[in-house]
Amino acid sequence: MISSIKNFKMEVNEDFIKKAEILKPILHESINYPQNIVKINKTQNDYEVIKLKKASNISEFSMGKGDSIYLDFGDHNVGYLSFKIKSVGSPPDAPAHIKIKLGEHPCEIVEESSSYNGAISSSWIQEEFLHIDVLPTEISMPRRYAFRYVEINVLDTSPKYKIVIESIYCKSVTSGDRKLVDNIKCNDKELEEIDKIALKTMEDCMQYVFEDGPKRDRRLWLGDLRLQALTNYATFKNYDLVKRCLYLFAGVTQNEKRVGACIFTEPKISVDDTTLLDYSLFFITSLYDYYIETKDKDTLIDLWKTAYHQIELAEINIDENGLLKDSEEWWCFIDWQENLNKQASCQAILIYVLKQAIFISNELEDKLHKNKLTLLLNKVIEGAKNYLWDSQKKFFVSGSKKQISWASQVWFVLANILSKEENKSLLERLKKENPKINMVTPYMNHYYVEALIQCNMMEEAKEYIKYYWGGMVKLGADCFWELFDPNNIYVSPYGSRIINSYCHAWSCTPSYIIRKYYTN
């Protein structure tokens, strides 16, 4: 469970919020129609969607009590659904009562919503019940949905009439301008396909902020932002949107000016009461990446104080041995792997971030902070080498039970405290020994790919992208998912995969990796 900060209060920096709001993007709109009327069958592996007719034939179907029609829009959409509906038969002598279900993945349509009893709210399930008193009519549904599939189910009309859907469309919205992004050529069809889907994932998550997922949680999360921003630099190049998000995080902070894990933009800009140490630290990484890409020194100067302060807050959790204290609480994210101990990964992230902070302090000629940061960096590297490196097993261990996980090794490779050769053999050993505490999010898998690339294991990184993101493509993904474990398609930290998000920002990074490293 995600825990909240105690005695939460929000601090607002009006100047930063103003700067962020000036950068609020205009959304591009497009009208999209369903492609096919389909049926969805259960198969041995999962579901298959079978075309019955072209969706332009929809008005041929008259539906009475208990009838359903299933539509496939042919691609993922984020937007507003409108439809025209009329009656056939006798004059309608009772309201029409219909259910509309929308899904990014067939499982959301087929599996009963009432069966969901998971850890987060069932209100994320995209299912609406409408009473329609007057027919014919045109209905524009007020909520924004993220979907590819729609089921319209007639709960009741009356014995004397049926309904017909005359037309249906989605007004889709995004702040990403696809015209600005070139297609890639990399002489590898599989990578080109993966890039296309990653780009679509990115596009659909680009709204008034970089959302984590347009179905759920529809918010700006820091860990997600970091990866979206990197991918954005290689694709849409919407620097203003990144800048806006950075100012939002600095504009509304938590107790002690801590950067929160996520931000709400409605009804007004506010920070959530969730706090995650790794996410707070990634404010520095996101600022660092933004500066490397744009050389926008004014923003760097403006936001450096907030960024530096995140290190001061992290430092409180470091003990006399230079180790981040471990905690049973939900204090740090890293991955949705249920049994993961996060101490080692978070220690490595602190090292990774400290190096970026030192770079910034150097750039700003901030000698005082540079010296403090350097001392702290040496202390936490020493701590890691003395207490987290198991020289017998040749793995980094985490927590009191000295857990060996994929995440801890990956983050320590990225923290880069061993020699080049040692890092490489650590990754080789990791693959060979395959500890059972694996990685379940594309977010964590992204960092694994980054670690491979850092060790110049270019072929392995490419093959892994094909194995992991390509695995979702094989299962029919049109956008990349929040969770994916190739060995368990039902994986979900929430108790059911129908609540998982199937267009999730942190999965869009193949476009960044492929475009940066694998195109000519």
Cβ-based nearer residue to ligand RAM, 47 or 506: 506
Phi, psi dihedrals of residue 121, rounded to the nearest 5°: -65, 140
333 in contact with ligand RAM (CB under 6 A): yes
Residue (413 or 444) nearer to ligand RAM, CB: 444
* Amino acid making up residue 131: H
Strand pairing partners for 210?
Answer: 206
Nearer of residues 217 and 450 to ligand RAM, judged by Cβ: 217
Query: Please, what is the minimum distance in Å from the beta carbon of residue 422 to ligand RAM?
Result: 31
Q: Residues 104, 195, 224, 450: which binds ligand RAM (CB under 6 A)?
A: 224
* CA distance linking residue 118 with residue 54, whole number of Å: 36
Q: x-or-dash pattern for ligand RAM, window 171-210, by CB under 6 A?
A: ----------------------------------------
Per-position x/- string for 484-513, each x denoting binding to ligand RAM as judged by CB under 6 A, each - no binding: ----------------------x-------
Measured distance CA(38)–CA(104) in Å, rounded: 15
Nearer to ligand RAM by Cβ, of 226 and 462: the residue is 226
Angle formed at CA 251 by CA 250 and CA 254, multiple of 5 degrees: 75
| Among 104, 211, 450, 482, interactor with ligand RAM by CB under 6 A | 482
Smallest distance, Å, CB 477 to ligand RAM?
A: 16
Write the DSSP symbol of residue 520: -
Q: E strand or H helix at 165, and its extent?
A: strand 161-174
Angle among Cα 505, 474, 31 to the nearest 5 degrees reads: 55
With 0-12 / 13-18 / 19 or more C-beta atoms within 10 angstroms meaning exposed / middle / buried, residue 367 is exposed
Query: Exactly one of 108, 203, 204, 212 binds ligand RAM (CB under 6 A); which one?
Result: 212
Beta-ladder partners of 128? 100
Residue 127's DSSP bridge partners are 101
Q: How far is the CB of 504 from ligand RAM (least distance, A)?
A: 6
Residue 138 Cβ vs ligand RAM, minimum distance, rounded to whole Å: 35
Cβ(98)–Cβ(163) under 8 Å?
yes
Nearer to ligand RAM, 236 or 506 (CB): 506
Q: Is 223 in the site for ligand RAM (CB under 6 A)?
A: yes
Cα–Cα distance for residue pair 81/71, rounded to 1 Å: 13
Q: Which of 72, 195, 203, 217 binds ligand RAM (CB under 6 A)?
A: 217
Residue from 70, 221, 288, 290 binding ligand RAM (CB under 6 A):
221
Amino acid at 259: V
Nearer to ligand RAM, 302 or 335 (CB): 335
Does 481 bind ligand RAM (CB under 6 A)? Our answer is no
Phi, psi at 140, each rounded to 5°: -115, 115
Q: Which two tokens stand for residue 493?
A: 């930290």
Binding residues vs ligand RAM (CB under 6 A): 212, 217, 221, 223-224, 333, 482, 506
